[in-house]
Structure 1
Amino acid sequence: MPFYQRIRATFSIRAANHLFRQTMAEALHAAGLDDHQIADTLSVTVRSVRNYRRAADLPVNRKRRSVR
């Protein structure tokens, strides 16, 4: 495989991985997880999750405090 095709394939894989993580972050957000929980689940930084959420125009999921 020529060099330029290897480079193109590498970028395609990176884009696919990014799209997968973004889709998973949106699904976990819909399930009610907050940014920290999503980051732990996907093994990415909280800032990445925040960027995914902002790109999808999703609100912040707040942790619910238990009432004693």
Structure 2
Amino acid sequence: MSDLVMMTLTFWHGSKVPGDTVEVRPEDVDSWKGYAVPADTTAPAAEKTAPKQAAAEPPKAPVK
């Protein structure tokens, strides 16, 4: 039995929504192009960095 590749959906597929993880056969990875990307098996980099602070006020439009 061949190993399966974990992929994260980027588009809807049946009852699955973007962000869900699916298992695909290695030879079928190319057919999922545009619908899924290889799943990141490591911890997300966003958790390692400090969150950015939002500006107190949004920038104002220039006055004419």
* TM-score, reference length from structure 2: 0.26
Task: Name the one with the larger strand percent.
Answer: 2
TM-score by length of 1: 0.25
